[in-house]
Amino acid sequence: DSEGAPALMVRAEVNLRMGHLAEASNDCDFVIERDPSCIMAYAVRGEARLRMGRFEEAVMDCEWALAHGRRTAAVLSVRAEAHRKLGSLREAICDCDEALRESSNCAEALGIRGQACLELGDFAVAVTDLSKAIEAAQATAIEGGAAAAEACGSAASDPAPSLVEAPPARLKEIFVPLLVARAEAQLNLRSFDEAIKDCTDALNLRCDEMALARAVRGEANLLSGHLDEAVSDCNVALSMEPLDA
């Protein structure tokens, strides 16, 4: 019986957007049982599984969706990130390349390719891709803020939100890893001031569980001679992820 599938599919997408990943995945399971040809169910379940850390299953869901439907940048980006998490960096880059041919300003694909290049040691390319990803994600945040302001009757002359001031909560999850990854690439290129700035922006966006940003900024401060700041950052990083006793 496929009559309930549309409502389940809507609920799955809502659950995914709200971060209720297990519920989204379960709804997609029910949709697929009722309508095994529902491409969207595989795509949504693939993203839910990616965000749940079930990377192999995410790859399989995306492969089914890509084989039976249009090869969209969104699904290719999900598979790319799953490949990256599994350490298949070349496959991740190939997926991002295809996604960017489909949508040249896809922030997710640019960011994933940048992170893959960072992990491969191609730091200059990583900085370029990550910078483009941050710019594209920021544009998305500003467009979203402008649309919300228009819906609420705000004046058209109101200033657009800056990167750190007002990106939506979900976009913070996108911005922070991009900033920290770019900081790591900048550190390897010995661009210490830029690395410090990116880590500071990341920490201003989200202070919780940001030991990596503190550690990267600590190393950049050390190498640029800011010893007191380096010690402070490292102490905070160690308090977040203490050494084993």
pLDDT 10s digits, 138-162? 887 655 544 444 544 544 444 433 3
Q: What is the mean pLDDT of residues 161-165?
A: 39
Per-residue pLDDT tens over the stretch 188-234: 999 999 999 999 999 888 765 578 898 999 999 999 999 999 999 99
| pLDDT given at position 61 | 97
**CB neighbour list of residue 66: distance below 8 Å, 6 or more residues apart:** 75, 76, 79
What whole-number distance in Å separates Cα of residue 87 and Cα of residue 81?
A: 10
The whole-number pLDDT of residue 154 equals 45
pLDDT category, 63, cuts 50, 70, 90?
A: very high
Within the chain, residue ranges assigned H as helices are: 5-17, 21-34, 39-51, 55-68, 73-85, 89-102, 107-120, 123-151, 169-188, 192-205, 211-223, 227-240
User: For residue 37, which phi and psi values (nearest 5 degrees)?
Assistant: -95, 10
Q: Is there a contact between 237 and 218 (Cβ–Cβ < 8 Å)?
A: yes
The answer to whether 82 touches 55, Cβ cutoff 8 Å, is yes
Buried b (16+ CB within 10 A) or exposed e, 200-221: ebbbebeeeebbbbbbbbbbbb
Q: Which two tokens stand for residue 238?
A: 């160690």
In angstroms, what CA-CA distances link 95 with 65, 124, 134, 177, 182?
14, 20, 19, 19, 21
User: Cα separations (Å) of 62 from 7, 75, 174, 187?
Assistant: 22, 6, 20, 34
Backbone angles phi, psi at 164, to 5 degrees: -85, -25
Of the candidates 172, 188, 85, 80, the residue with the CA atom closest to the CA atom of residue 127: 188
